[in-house]
Amino acid sequence: MPKNFKTFEEGVGLSFNNLDLLRQAFTHRSYLNEHRTLTHGHNERLEFLGDAVLELIVTRFLYEKFPEQDEGDLTAYRAALVNAVTLSAIAGSIGMDDYLLLSRGEAKDKGRARQMLLANALEALVGAIYLDQGYEAAQVFLEKRLFPKIDEIVQKGLWQDSKSSLQENAQETEGVTPSYKVMREWGPDHDKHFTVGVYIKERLVAEGEGKSKQEAEQAAAHKALAAKGW
């Protein structure tokens, strides 16, 4: 059934000059393999652009909001704000899942795989807004949808370095240092994704995913802390 992107626009308060850009933001590469007559491309280039726009806007926001924080804390805040978990949650909250254009095979994937697709699509949407309406429009969108998340992230300590915390607890409790192993990596060079496992005493404790090995390690460490009750 064709997707009505006008309905999506109305729901999130957007109005695109070029509706093909909006459609492209939702189009996974696999969908084009099954619909070769489409004139617009997939969303990987928009995601590449949106990632950079997102990072700049978020960096400036954090720089101005936390004038007393040093570079290290601001970097950790930013990582917590733009990781796949946060971005996919926002994408879900504005109904993006209902508009994703996926192949029949990709459409069956749920859980972590769908989470990554949603996070990527949100970055592509930011890129599309930037191209269609400029920096300020992208900033307004993120101010409304993303920036409110920072208060919870700071208050609950979600920004803290999970790897350091896990190492401290593992050394104190079990006398060992955790180790990390890449379990899987996929995607083109400009859009790699990683699944990393964290081991304590050669036992797999948890796995995490991310768009870099570092992000995946942090996600794995965060889950390991919860699994160990630390």
User: Is 134 or 159 the better-scoring residue by pLDDT?
Assistant: 134
pLDDT tens for 90-115 read 999 999 999 999 988 888 777 777 88
18 is in an annotated binding site: no
47 is in an annotated binding site: yes
pLDDT tens for 152-188 read 888 877 676 788 888 888 988 889 999 999 999 988 8
What separation in angstroms does the CA of 136 have from each of 60, 141, 185? 13, 9, 35
* Average pLDDT score, the chain: 90
Among 58-72, 76-90, 115-129, 151-165, whose mean pLDDT is lowest?
151-165
Predicted pLDDT of residue 148: 95
- What are 178-185's contacts with CB under 8 Å, separation 24+? 178/205, 178/221, 178/224, 180/217, 180/220, 182/213, 182/216, 183/207
Per DSSP, 17 falls in state S
Which phi and psi angles does 204 have, rounded to 5°?
Answer: -70, 120
Q: How far apart are CA 99 and CA 23, in angstroms?
A: 9
**Domains in the chain with CATH codes:** 5-155 (1.10.1520.10), 162-228 (3.30.160.20)
Please, which pLDDT band fits residue 2 given cuts at 50, 70 and 90? low
Catalytic residue numbers read: 51, 123
In the chain, % of residues over pLDDT 70:
98
Q: Name the β-bridge partners of 101.
A: 27
Q: How far apart are CA 128 and CA 84, in angstroms?
A: 19
Residue in 228, 140, 143 with CA at minimum distance from that of residue 178: 228
120 is in an annotated binding site: yes
What separation in angstroms does the CA of 17 have from each of 4, 30, 102, 113? 16, 26, 24, 31
Predicted pLDDT of residue 153: 85
pLDDT tens for 199-224 read 999 999 999 988 888 888 988 998 89
What separation in angstroms does the CA of 69 have from each of 59, 122, 152, 163, 227? 13, 28, 17, 21, 30
The reported pTM is: 0.74
Q: How far apart are CA 185 and CA 216, in angstroms?
A: 11
